[in-house]
């Protein structure tokens, strides 16, 4: 557990360090080319862990608190500016140049996401085929005629190649009212169109959009046989070994791995008497699942992974790969889709059509960063791209103290012909800080609720 936490913390620091540097470098690079003098380029806040003076007397700093960064520019509103350098002050720059400098931060986040997706698409992204499993009786999916083994080909007008494509499309059209045409290929190879009532995400907080309509991803039946153990995990500490077959626990028998995994997840920190079979010999082993944060609160985890037949994974996965030029086009489209998706989710939360519990803070981000990094470079790069898009979109929101708030002032200045008054900007700053504190408090609350369980 300690090792996992440290790894997740390191992954979070790398994630924030990379994306904050990209964002602030956008402001820095464009400011320099617009003739505005940069005084300090800081990644992180607080006590400076590292400091260096570069060309043009720019101070480069790495702060101890990696939860943000800033680019400080010469500005007559903040300090006395020597007359010889007054023309290089930010406040003296034309409104067009100020817009370019402020917009550059989010723009560089989007550019980073495009580059990351382009690399992934050019090298090939392995993902899960959009196969469906059991359909809940009486659900919207059952009424639409969905069956176990259906593979989604298209939702409305959007082609679907992976399970992620299907989830994003369902969330995009989630209004609880419209009927979506969903093209599928059934287990017999026949193509059909099923008409599905769009899900309502008003109460959903865990991203389980499929379950909202009575669907689930296809999960092949796997025998409860251990394939690998997590070093230092509860299963290894209890003496379990690869090849052990889990028969049951506390006199409850398991038919497959899914039943065993669900049993463990529901019992964090509880001592379990696990019946196994090892080389044909029945044994009972005492295992206490570790407690880890989950989407619905604390979950149990023993650190054991199922033995998967070698040919099974190949049948359930699909590799998405493009030629370099097509990869770049697809990367732009992916970044656009994720940006629109983020905006729509924010809009739905604002009007109460999606739960505020979808807002995540640093604890959840750290967990996701650690999980993606542990999978491999491609998964971590995809995670960086996703967070970079979110950072770009959030910074463009018209909230004072964010880039979007400053852009709103400058656009108003373009229309009005004169800058927004200092008094109005001061009020806006206070309101902006209040909104940010509220959002940060909600994000931390959601993190703690996931970690310890909702009160």
- Quick one: pLDDT at residue 385? 94
Burial group, residue 202, by CB count within 10 angstroms (0-12, 13-18, 19+): middle
What is the percentage of the chain residues whose pLDDT exceeds 70? Answer: 92
- Quick one: pLDDT at residue 296? 67
Mean pLDDT of the chain: 87
357, two tokens: 């519990």
Q: Tell me the C-alpha distance between 316 and 308, whole Å.
A: 12
Q: Is 122 left (phi over 0), alpha (psi -120 to 50) or beta?
A: alpha
Band of pLDDT at residue 36, cut at 50, 70 and 90? very high
Please give the full DSSP string across 375-423, using - where no structure is assigned.
H-HHHHHHHHHHHHHHHHHHHTSS-TTSHHHHHHHHHHHHHHSSPPPHH
Q: Tell me the C-alpha distance between 92 and 104, whole Å.
A: 18
* pLDDT top residue among 354 and 390: 390
Q: Tell me the C-alpha distance between 56 and 150, whole Å.
A: 62
- The pair phi, psi for residue 224, each rounded to 5°, is -75, 65
Q: Tell me the C-alpha distance between 334 and 350, whole Å.
A: 24
390, two tokens: 């979110």
302, two tokens: 């023993």
- Quick one: pLDDT at residue 454? 46
Q: Does residue 41 surpass a pLDDT of 70?
A: yes
pLDDT tens sequence across 146-200: 999 999 999 988 899 888 888 888 887 777 678 899 999 998 999 999 999 887 7
Judged by DSSP in three states, 209 sits in helix
- Residues with a catalytic annotation lie at 24
Task: Answer whether 121's CB lies under 8 Å from 325's CB.
Answer: no
CATH 2.30.42.10 location in the chain: 125-219+312-320, 226-307
- Quick one: pLDDT at residue 344? 82
- Quick one: pLDDT at residue 205? 43
Q: Does residue 206 surpass a pLDDT of 50?
A: no
CATH 2.30.42.10 fits 226-307, yes or no: yes
Q: Tell me the C-alpha distance between 417 and 96, whole Å.
A: 12
- Quick one: pLDDT at residue 4? 64
Most confident segment among 63-72, 114-123, 226-235, 246-255: 114-123
pLDDT tens sequence across 329-374: 999 999 998 998 888 878 777 766 666 666 776 777 777 888 788 7
What is the percentage of the chain residues whose pLDDT exceeds 90? Answer: 49
Task: Answer whether 151's CB lies under 8 Å from 132's CB.
Answer: yes
- Quick one: pLDDT at residue 376? 82
Q: What class, spelled out in words, does domain 125-219+312-320 have in CATH?
A: mainly beta
Q: Tell me the C-alpha distance between 396 and 408, whole Å.
A: 9
């Amino acid at each position: 557990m300690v090792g996992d936490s440290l790894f997740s913390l390191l992954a979070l620091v790398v994630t924030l360090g990379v994306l904050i540097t990209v964002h602030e470098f956008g402001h820095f690079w464009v400011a320099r080319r617009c003739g505005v003098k940069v005084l300090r380029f800081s990644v992180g806040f607080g006590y400076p862990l590292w400091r260096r003076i570069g060309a043009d007397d720019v101070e480069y700093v790495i702060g101890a608190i990696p939860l943000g960064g800033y680019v400080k520019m010469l500005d007559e509103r903040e300090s006395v500016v020597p007359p010889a350098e007054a023309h290089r002050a930010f406040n003296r720059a034309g409104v067009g140049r100020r817009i370019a400098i402020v917009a550059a931060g989010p723009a560089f986040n989007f550019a980073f996401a495009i580059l990351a997706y382009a690399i992934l698409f050019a090298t090939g992204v392995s993902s899960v085929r959009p196969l469906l499993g059991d359909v809940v009786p009486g659900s919207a999916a059952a009424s639409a005629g969905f069956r176990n083994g259906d593979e989604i080909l298209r939702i409305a007008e959007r082609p679907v190649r992976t399970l992620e494509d299907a989830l994003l499309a369902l969330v995009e059209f989630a209004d609880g009212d419209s009927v979506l045409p969903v093209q599928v290929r059934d287990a017999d190879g026949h193509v059909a169109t099923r008409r599905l009532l769009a899900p309502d995400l008003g109460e959903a907080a865990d991203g389980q959009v499929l379950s909202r309509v009575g669907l689930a991803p296809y999960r092949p039946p796997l025998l409860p046989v251990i394939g690998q153990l997590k070093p230092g995990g509860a299963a290894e500490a209890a003496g379990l070994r690869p090849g052990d077959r889990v028969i049951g626990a506390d006199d409850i028998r398991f038919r497959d791995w899914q039943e065993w995994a669900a049993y463990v997840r529901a019992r964090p920190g509880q001592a379990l008497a696990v019946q196994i079979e090892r080389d044909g010999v029945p044994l009972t082993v005492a295992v206490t699942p570790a407690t880890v944060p989950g989407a619905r609160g604390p979950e149990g985890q023993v650190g054991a992974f199922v033995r998967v037949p070698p040919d099974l994974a190949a049948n359930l996965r699909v590799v998405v790969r493009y030629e370099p030029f097509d990869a770049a086009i697809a990367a732009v489209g992916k970044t656009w889709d994720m940006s629109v998706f983020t905006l729509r989710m924010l809009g739905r939360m604002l009007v109460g059509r999606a739960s505020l519990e979808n807002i995540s803070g640093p604890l959840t981000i750290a967990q996701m960063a650690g999980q993606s990094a542990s999978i491999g470079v491609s998964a971590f790069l995809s995670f960086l791209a996703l967070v970079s898009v979110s950072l770009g979109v959030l910074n463009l929101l018209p909230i004072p103290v964010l880039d979007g708030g400053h852009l709103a002032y400058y656009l108003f200045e373009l229309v009005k012909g004169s800058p927004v008054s200092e008094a109005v900007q001061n009020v806006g700053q206070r309101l902006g800080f209040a909104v940010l504190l509220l959002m940060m408090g909600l994000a931390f609350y959601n993190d703690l609720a996931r970690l310890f369980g909702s009160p």
